[in-house]
Amino acid sequence: MKEFTFKYNTGKGGVYFLAVFFGVPFGIFLPSFILMEYVPWVLWVSIPLGIGIIAYCVRKFIKEINSTDTIQVDDLGFTSNDYGRISYRDIQSIPPYGALQAPPPSMRIKLHNGKKLVWIFNPQSPKSQEDIAIFTEFREALLDHLKRQTQTAIAETQEQAVKPENVTAPPADVIEQLEKHKKDRNFIYCSIKSDSAGAD
DSSP 120-149: B--TT-GGGHHHHHHHHHHHHHHHHHHHHH
Based on the domain organization, do 46 and 84 belong to the same domain? no
pLDDT of 65 reads: 83
Whether residue 35 is predicted with pLDDT greater than 60 in this model: the reply is yes
Q: Tell me the mean pLDDT in the region 185-192.
A: 40
pLDDT tens-digit profile of 96-133?
Answer: 887 677 888 899 999 999 999 999 998 888 888 999 99
pLDDT of 98 reads: 75
pLDDT of 188 reads: 41
Based on the domain organization, do 55 and 93 belong to the same domain? no
118 strand-pairing partners: 108
Q: By percentage, how much of the chain surpasses pLDDT 90?
A: 32
Which residues are CB-contacts of 149 (< 8 A; sequence separation ≥ 6)? 75, 76, 88, 169, 170
Q: What is the CATH number of the domain that holds 87?
A: 2.30.29
Provide the domain count of the chain.
Answer: 2
Based on the domain organization, do 59 and 87 belong to the same domain? no
Whether residue 186 is predicted with pLDDT greater than 60 in this model: the reply is no
pLDDT of 103 reads: 82
- Alpha-carbon distance 131 to 189, whole Å? 14
Cis previous bond, 105, omega within 30:
yes
Segment holding 71, helix H or strand E: strand 67-73
Question: Of 97, 93, 116, nearest to 107 (Cα)?
Answer: 97
Is there a domain that residue 1 lies in? no
Q: Tell me the mean pLDDT in the region 79-99.
A: 90
Is there a domain that residue 117 lies in? yes
Based on the domain organization, do 41 and 119 belong to the same domain? no
Q: Are 170 and 154 in contact (CB under 8 A)?
A: no
pLDDT tens-digit profile of 151-185?
Answer: 766 665 555 555 555 455 566 678 777 777 766 55
On average, the pLDDT of the chain sits at 80
Q: Are 173 and 93 in contact (CB under 8 A)?
A: yes
Q: Which of 64, 83, 103 is the last residue of a domain?
A: 64
Is there a domain that residue 87 lies in? yes
pLDDT of 199 reads: 42
b/e per residue 12-34 (b: at least 16 CB within 10 A): ebeebbebbeebbeeebeeebee
Whether residue 95 is predicted with pLDDT greater than 80 in this model: the reply is yes
Q: How many H helices and E strands in the chain?
A: 6, 7
pLDDT of 161 reads: 53
Question: Of 99, 93, 88, 124, nearest to 184 (Cα)?
Answer: 99
* Between 13 and 136, the higher pLDDT residue: 136
Q: By percentage, how much of the chain surpasses pLDDT 70?
A: 79
pLDDT of 168 reads: 52
Question: Of 16, 173, 149, 179, nearest to 73 (Cα)?
Answer: 149
